[in-house]
Amino acid sequence: MEVWDGDEISNFLITSTHDTSARQKGFGGCLSYEMHKRSHTIVRLPVHLENQQTVYFAPGQAEQRVHDNVQRRTKLTEFFSLNAHDVEARQRWTRRRRRMGNDTLAQMYVVNPLDRDRFHLRLLLFHKRGPQSFRDMRTVDRVVYESYAAAAVAMGLIESDRAWLACMDESASFDTLRQLRYLFVTILVMYHPAEPLALYQASEDNMMEDFNRRFQDGGKSACLGDLLRAHGKTFAEYGLPNPDVALLEPEPDDQLFGTIDAATLWARRVNDLNDEQRTMYDRVMAAVDDNRNVQKVFYVDGPRETGKPTLYGCLIWSLRNRRRSVLCVAFTGIAASLMNGGMTVHSTFGLPFGTLNDDETSSITMQSKRAQRIRDAALIVWDEVPMSPGPQLAVVDRLLRDIMGSESPFGGKPVLFAGDFRHILPVVCRGSRTAIVMSSIKHNSLWQNSEKFELTRNMRAGNDADFADWLLLLGSGQLPTVDGVLDTVEIPREMVCDVVDLIDFVYPQHMSLANERGMQQINRTVLQRIERTYTAIDTVVIDDPDEEANYPTEFLNSLELNGMPPFKLTLTVGAIVMLLRNLDPKRNLCNGTRLVVTELRRHNFRARVLVDGDGSAQDDVIIPAIPMTTGDEDDLPLKIKRIQFPVRLSFAMTINKSQGQTFDRVGLLLLSPVFTHGQLYVAFSRVRNTQSVKVGMYDDGNGRFVTKNIVYREVLLTR
């Protein structure tokens, strides 16, 4: 009888070992290769609650082991004891060379968020320095909290409405009543607290002190109504007391209808128009006055900053003088803030963020106030339209057709598009040249049917005509290439300086960089005085709570997320920062706005808006932490929410963020070349003359300063 060994797995492993591993070991041994090596020793650190550590015992020795002092001691309790008795233990750890032995890595056990007490204890252990006991872990600012979760809330490590109440209370001690109301509305709109009415009632006395003696609840909340309305929000959305409608201020456009100011400003601006601007002005106004189904979609191309805002202003004040309203929109918050009453395209038309498809819809309902405002507008002025992807126009077109009840383009509403196709085009994540060009509005049928005009007289460059001409050639890709290499240009020697001298030339004005890595390096160099470090709250946006355990908090904290502030944000008074979200375009608080920090606090900070690169006197603003969520374009397997101050250091910024702004001086760091259409043109066109820009770069070995200038010429063709 033949006995068959049916353990196929063991046979396979034995065969694999003899056939593969043995040969490798033999070959490695002949050549004296190391067969195995350990670089680090991993020490696992247990996380347990007070008197809930694991005790090991043999059968029959349970009671003895429980009372055994040695068994009661753990790595965590000894950590507390070390901090209590050794002063040096609470100092910062510094790496030093070891004489012998392996390096050691410590790793805390991962705790499921459903195990709330241990999860929050572990979170506190990451952020609390030198704790000496479990009680000390629950102590924050000399207040002993009942739970680790409450202590984590007090330290700002987990999300809670109490953090926003603390933010309001802190601001009440320093800021004006109007600033308090702005802060409250920002928290409502950007954070959506779980109990907005409770937050309102707790903050009411502080922020309504000037109204308490004059009005009842309806009158007091009216002052918030105007601020909420600016964000397209209502009291009903937050369950707040209904305001007295009679006390609400009129809509911004209504305040200016028929006033002497509107008439004066219109007359002054009309006289300032040059011939090109006047032709454009007359054509648009004729379309506004003509109720027939005629051409009402226009595009004005303004290369080299040729006075487009002057044209906008004349149209706006002319129509307001006639008691008619104008919608001013732009793709970015920076461009919108430069227009009178400007708002972003997304907020005005209720567009979703992220990548748009042609079948996307607006969030605006037909009977809403936002729809009525669109319905009442005599003209829509849309700036920076080259940055808008084609599907965005399609969504707005369908919205306007529905609101106006007309099948004409944009519902028969006069629309003035404006921009410069030499600037940066729509951002397509990892998109090829073809994908970027195809995403442009030039491949939209609405663009094909628009009437096009061009402004050619440069207004920003002043008397530096040579610089203006050079800019135009740069943006059009008409400068000579270097040695016949495509997309290369030679930077004039007078614009170049040594890399180490670049900060001395521009600081504290502005630096533009082609990539994020260079930006972070410059920001760290400039920020020498560390004043305060703020930590964020990171969570995953996921439906299944059990899945949260797969993404430890420290892993989320380590991520550098695109378009978001860092987990640890270090600020100092005098630091220049840039906003990363549109908080309030009407107050110039837009994505890309630069501010200088004037006061640091625990739950918020005070800052002043920088206008055109200088410190022009403006009211200080209060910036709170807000939640920010990653989008589809981030290409992450899940969505991550980070609650942090929506700013980054901005002694330097990327070229893309600088678009739409003007500076007295610009330093351009080109250690790595630009990588997409229009970037080099945007960088140089932020200033008015040759003397206001310096480029930090190295020569090519032949005494020439050569870099890339990427221009998609097919986009520049007039269609």
- The answer as to whether 170 is a domain residue is yes
- Name residues of the chain where pLDDT drops below 50: 1, 17, 247, 251-260, 461, 508-509, 528-529, 612-617
pLDDT for 390 equals 85
- The answer as to whether 418 is a domain residue is yes
Do 541 and 640 lie in one domain? The reply is: yes
Number of domains in the chain: 5
Do 641 and 664 lie in one domain? The reply is: no
pLDDT for 94 equals 56
Residue 265: partners with Cβ closer than 8 Å, 6 or more residues away: 313, 317
* CATH number of the domain to which 656 belongs: 3.40.50
Do 224 and 324 lie in one domain? The reply is: no
Do 187 and 274 lie in one domain? The reply is: no
Among 154, 169, 194, identify where a domain stops. 154
Cα angle vertex 623, ends 520, 633, to 5°? 55
- The answer as to whether 607 is a domain residue is yes
- The answer as to whether 377 is a domain residue is yes
Do 275 and 385 lie in one domain? The reply is: yes
Do 546 and 641 lie in one domain? The reply is: yes
Do 644 and 659 lie in one domain? The reply is: no
- The answer as to whether 21 is a domain residue is no
pLDDT for 488 equals 93
- The answer as to whether 13 is a domain residue is no
- List Cα–Cα distances, 263 to 275, 284, 380, in angstroms: 21, 19, 20
pLDDT for 633 equals 63
Write the DSSP assignment of 250-263 as a string of letters.
Answer: PPHHHHHTT-HHHH
pLDDT for 255 equals 41
Do 407 and 432 lie in one domain? The reply is: yes
Helices (H), 333-480: 333-337, 345-349, 369-376, 390-404, 433-439, 445-448, 465-476
Do 590 and 655 lie in one domain? The reply is: no
- The answer as to whether 543 is a domain residue is yes
Range of the domain at 592: 528-649
Do 503 and 552 lie in one domain? The reply is: no
> How many Å apart are CA 218 and CA 85, to the nearest integer?
59
pLDDT for 479 equals 94
> How many Å apart are CA 414 and CA 324, to the nearest integer?
13
Quote the pTM value. Answer: 0.75
Question: What are 379-401's pLDDT values in tens digits?
Answer: 999 999 999 888 888 899 999 99
pLDDT for 90 equals 63
Reading the block at residue 545, the tokens are 């709570």
Side chain identity at residue 556, one-letter code: L
Among 603, 626, 649, identify where a domain stops. 649
> How many Å apart are CA 715 and CA 91, to the nearest integer?
59
Do 369 and 329 lie in one domain? The reply is: yes
pLDDT for 401 equals 93
Local structure of 576: helix, strand or coil: strand
Do 702 and 579 lie in one domain? The reply is: no
- The answer as to whether 637 is a domain residue is yes
pLDDT for 521 equals 62
Instruction: Tell me the β-bridge partners of 42.
Output: 105
* CATH number of the domain to which 377 belongs: 3.40.50.300
Among 454, 482, 512, identify where a domain stops. 454
Is residue 368 a contact partner of residue 237, using CB atoms and an 8 Å limit? no
